[in-house]
Chains A and B, each alone.
Chain A
Amino acid sequence: MSSLRTTCFSALGVLGALALAPAEARAGACCVGSTAATPTVLGECERWSVGFGVGGVSHLARWDADGQITSDSLDERALTSSVAAGWRWNRSGQVTAELPGRVTWRATGDLAESGGGVGDARVTVILDPIEERAAVGAPVLRLGARLPTGRSWEESDAPLQSDVTGLVGPAVTGGLSMNRTMGRVPWSLGVSGELPVGVEGVPALVAAAGSVGRYLGTDWTVTASLRHERTAAVWEEQSYRAARTTAGARVIRGQRLAWRVWAGAGVDLPVSGLGLESPAQAAATGGVVLVR
Chain B
Amino acid sequence: MILSLLPSLLFIACADVEDSRLERVDEAVTSAGLYKLSLSPDPDPPTAGPAGLWIVVTDADEQPIEGADITLDPWMPEHGHGASQAPVVSDLGGGDYFAEWTYSMPGYWEITLDVTGPEGADDVVLAYDVL
Contact = CB atoms under 8 A, between A and B. Distances in A.
A168 B79 CA distance: 11
Question: Which range contains the number of B residues in contact with the other chain?
Answer: 35 or more
Contact of B77 (A153, A235, A279): A235
B20 A159 contact: no
B75 A235 contact: yes
B12 A279 contact: no
B50 A111 contact: yes
A158 B84 contact: yes
Nearest to A157: B84
B106 A193 contact: no
A178 interface: no
Interface string A50-77: 0000000000001011000010111000
A202 interface: yes
B32 interface: no
B49 A111 contact: yes
A108 B48 contact: yes
Contacts of B106: 62, 72-74
B91 interface: no
A230 interface: yes
B5 A72 contact: no
Contact of A206 (B13, B47, B105): B13
Contacts of B48: 72-74, 108-109, 160
A89 interface: no
Contacts of B105: 29-30, 74, 160-161, 279
Interface of A: 29-31, 62, 64-65, 70, 72-74, 108-111, 143, 152-154, 156-161, 164, 167-168, 172, 174, 193, 195, 201-206, 230-233, 235, 238-242, 277-279
14 contacts: A73-B47, A73-B48, A73-B106, A74-B48, A109-B48, A111-B49, A143-B2, A158-B84, A159-B50, A159-B84, A232-B11, A240-B20, A241-B78, A277-B108
